[in-house]
Chains A and B, each alone.
Chain A
């Protein structure tokens, strides 16, 4: 007899899908636990860790933000190969404002977030009129070119960068702020994507002409999505600049483009939570494998290919499926 694996939603999921039907603590816990537990777990880890590992968690949060930003763009049909563009622009704006004008992190980070988002959107505006791989190509080119331009023209410190910037007020403030922003970004973007507005964004990815024929200006929506995503990326850049008190050409390096994509591929694209999970796996792994040096990038690249081609589902979707569905073998007639 041939068998096939049948998947069915768990009863508790079906009952608790509709908020009005919640009638027991168990059902409420079923909904709340997967959202609250990671937040608490990260908080405990972040506070209990040694200063060195606190830095790693902060870094994971920032790469996670870049991954969330990547996923938001990807779900509107724009596949970015250059998250380093957003990151670098945010980092440089914060660095310049601090170095030349002496504004502290409380001013530079918000300015860099909004300013970086606006600048990135402006730079990429011409590409929005095209679909397909144009966006990937241009986003891949831009950070590499900007890096070269800074190197050649020696503006903003040239190859040496700007150092001695003002640090974050306190290590504790730093880690808590990093976590808070990650969770706010994750939950608000997730909520946004399930609203009507998010539906339009997803529609642009699925069938842009259908959205156009509904009388909506898709360039406007794409630009808005780009602004939001670029803002998140620029924030990460500005934050890291102040945390390390340094900004230089490495902020445009490929590492910042490749890690978020690798995180998204490993964690599972399309949910925001997946890419974030992927980054929380990859960034600490990155630290543990520090001894391997340049081999790490090769490992990410291979992981990227293996997961996109062989296991496109990703870890998050796997966990989610196990949590919401049960599986059983049923016999089928041939």
Chain B
């Protein structure tokens, strides 16, 4: 029993980390809170589904094309919508929220609802870990989650664009004097975050159906994890993901499934009361906390 809880808690935590990573990345670097995040996540799922079932592309190609397309779309969104209102918090928030809402509700209007909208699992097998049975897709999800986190770590330290990311995250003006194009880098950051969302979608969605409402859930989960962890902190996202992930599974097992949602809300409110900038929210503490 406990073993199963620990294993599934771990899986649930990785899922939350995966879902929150892209949002956090975008915010940490460009300062744009991408409220269209959940919509991009769902869109990646439907796009991949369409490529598989309408065009008959091989699975791996469909995945690659979807991730690239979502990243490109997010980059264009930044260039043509967000760049015009950059720095105006109200407008940024409303614009991304509006775009996300339009995408999600358009899918709902077109009738993308039903059990036929599923992606095939990557690995159709199940494994025994001790006495617990875990299916292959969940293990792949954990592997991809770990891989993406490590990749992000290396990317932001050992690549030109990644270092530019950290540069404009720390001080945009100083970065400008060093020849870093802040707008371009921010556009990359938004695209990169959306790419992470698409990757997360494509490994998580095979576990269930692609549902429009999941887009809102993803956004809510990503926001909760990011706020608890401290916006813009990768370490914070990992710690908060595990905190909320395990707390949810523990409540679901030893308490009632109903209270899973309350756990996230409670974690959110407690963190805001005790340490408003989040567990690891140091870098931006002065800016966000008055």
CB pair A308–B85 under 8 Å, yes or no, is yes
Q: How large is the interface on B (under 10, 10 to 19, 20 to 34, 35 or more residues)?
A: 35 or more
- Residues in chain A near residue B109, CB distance under 8 A: 293-295, 298
- Residues in chain B near residue A126, CB distance under 8 A: 269, 272-273, 276
- Residues in chain A near residue B290, CB distance under 8 A: 129-131, 208-209, 212, 218
CB pair B81–A132 under 8 Å, yes or no, is no
Interface: A12 (CB within 8 A): no
Interface: B227 (CB within 8 A): yes
Interface: A223 (CB within 8 A): no
How many angstroms from the CA of A74 to the CA of B88 in the assembled complex?
Answer: 12
How many angstroms from the CA of A132 to the CA of B226 in the assembled complex?
Answer: 14
Contact with B along A172-212 (1 / 0, CB 8 A): 00000000000000000000000000000000000011001
- Give the residue among B98, B219, B276, B288 with the most A Cβ atoms within 10 A: B98
- Give the residue among B265, B273, B277 with the most A Cβ atoms within 10 A: B265
CB pair B90–A74 under 8 Å, yes or no, is yes
Contact with B along A278-297 (1 / 0, CB 8 A): 00000000000000011101
Interface: A141 (CB within 8 A): yes
CB pair A149–B98 under 8 Å, yes or no, is no
Interface: B216 (CB within 8 A): yes
Contact of B220 among A132, A145, A298, A302 (CB under 8 A): A145
Contact of A130 among B95, B108, B289 (CB under 8 A): B289
Contact with A along B56-85 (1 / 0, CB 8 A): 000000000000000000000000010011
CB pair A309–B101 under 8 Å, yes or no, is no
| Residues 257 to 305 of chain A near chain B (Cβ within 8 Å) | 258, 261, 265, 269, 293-295, 297-298, 300-302, 304-305
| Residues 92 to 143 of chain A near chain B (Cβ within 8 Å) | 123, 126-127, 129-134, 136-138, 140-142
| Residues 275 to 290 of chain B near chain A (Cβ within 8 Å) | 276-277, 287-290
Interface: B253 (CB within 8 A): no
* Residues A145 and B261 in contact in the complex (CB < 8 Å), given A79-B89, A126-B273, A136-B93: yes
- Residues in chain A near residue B268, CB distance under 8 A: 138, 141
Q: How many residues of A contact B (CB 8 A)?
A: 46
CB pair B289–A129 under 8 Å, yes or no, is yes
How many angstroms from the CA of A128 to the CA of B149 in the assembled complex?
Answer: 32
| Residues 227 to 276 of chain A near chain B (Cβ within 8 Å) | 254, 258, 261, 265, 269
CB pair B91–A144 under 8 Å, yes or no, is no
Interface: B143 (CB within 8 A): no
Q: Contact residues of A with B, CB < 8 Å?
A: 74, 79, 81, 123, 126-127, 129-134, 136-138, 140-142, 144-145, 148-149, 152-153, 208-209, 212, 218, 254, 258, 261, 265, 269, 293-295, 297-298, 300-302, 304-305, 308-309, 312
With A254-B216, A305-B94 known, 16 other A-B pairs at CB within 8 A are: A79-B94, A129-B276, A130-B276, A133-B89, A136-B35, A138-B227, A140-B219, A141-B224, A144-B216, A145-B261, A149-B258, A298-B109, A301-B98, A305-B98, A308-B98, A309-B84
List 26 A-B residue pairs with CB atoms under 8 Å apart, sorted by A's residue number. Answer: A79-B89, A81-B93, A81-B97, A130-B277, A130-B289, A130-B290, A131-B289, A137-B33, A138-B272, A140-B223, A142-B265, A145-B264, A149-B258, A149-B265, A152-B257, A152-B258, A209-B290, A254-B216, A293-B109, A294-B109, A301-B101, A302-B98, A304-B95, A304-B101, A305-B98, A308-B95
